[in-house]
Structure 1
Amino acid sequence: MTDSGEFTEDAFLGGQLRLRQRKSGHRAGHDAMLLAAATPARSGDRVVDFGAGVGAAGLAVARRVAGIELALVEIDQGLADLARGNAAANAIAADVIVLDVTSTAAAFAAAGLSPDGVDVVLMNPPFNDPARHRASPDKTRELAHVATVATLESWIHAGRRILKSGGVLSLIWRADGLVELLAALDRGFGSLAILPVHSDAATPAIRVLICAIKGGKAPTRMHAALLLKDESGVPNKQVQEILAGKGVLPLAIP
Structure 2
Amino acid sequence: MIEAQADITEDAFLGGQLRLRQKRSGHRAGHDAILLAAATRAEAGERVVDFGAGVGAAGLALARRVAGIRLSLVEIDPELAELARANAAANAIPADVIVLDVATDASAFAANGLPPDSADVVLMNPPFNDPARHRGSPDQARHTAHVATDETLHAWVHAARRILKSGGALTLIWRADGIAEVLAALSRGFGGLSILAVHGEAGRPAIRVLVHAVKGGRAPTRLLPGLMLNEASSVPKNEVNEILEGRAVLPLAEP
Same fold (TM over 0.5): yes
Q: TM-score under structure 2 normalisation?
A: 0.98
Matches within 5 A, 1:2-151: 4-151=5-152
Residue 4 of structure 1, CA deviation: 4.0
Per mean C-alpha deviation after superposition, the further-off stretch among 214-223 and 228-237 is: 228-237
Q: TM-score under structure 1 normalisation?
A: 0.98
Residue 233 of structure 1, CA deviation: 2.5
Distance 2:177 2:5 in 1: 38
**CA deviation digits over 1:162-191, x for unaligned, max 9?**
000000000000000000110110000000
Distance 2:10 2:181 in 1: 36
The corresponding residue for 2:172 is 171
| SS of residue matched to 2:29 | coil
Distance 2:112 2:251 in 1: 33
| SS of residue matched to 1:71 | strand
Distance 1:245 1:220 in 2: 27
Q: Could you tell me which amino acid in structure 2 is paired with residue 85 of structure 1?
A: A
Distance 2:232 2:144 in 1: 35
| SS of residue matched to 2:21 | strand
Residue 247 of structure 1, CA deviation: 0.5
Q: Could you tell me which amino acid in structure 2 is paired with residue 45 of structure 1?
A: E
**Gap runs ≥5 in structure 2:** none
Give % identity: 71
Residue 234 of structure 1, CA deviation: 1.8
| SS of residue matched to 2:49 | strand
Distance 1:161 1:26 in 2: 27
Residue 105 of structure 1, CA deviation: 0.4
| SS of residue matched to 1:247 | coil
**CA deviation digits over 1:60-114, x for unaligned, max 9?**
0000000000000000000000000000000000000000000100000000000
| SS of residue matched to 2:230 | coil
| SS of residue matched to 1:5 | helix
**CA deviation digits over 1:34-54, x for unaligned, max 9?**
000000000011000000000
Distance 1:232 1:102 in 2: 41
The corresponding residue for 1:243 is 244
Distance 1:179 1:128 in 2: 14
Distance 2:143 2:27 in 1: 8
Distance 2:44 2:143 in 1: 35
Distance 1:82 1:117 in 2: 25
**Gap runs ≥5 in structure 1:** none
Distance 1:18 1:126 in 2: 24
Distance 2:120 2:53 in 1: 17
Residue 135 of structure 1, CA deviation: 1.1
Residue 231 of structure 1, CA deviation: 2.8
**CA deviation digits over 1:227-254, x for unaligned, max 9?**
0012332211111111111010000001
Distance 1:47 1:208 in 2: 21
| SS of residue matched to 2:246 | coil
Residue 222 of structure 1, CA deviation: 0.6
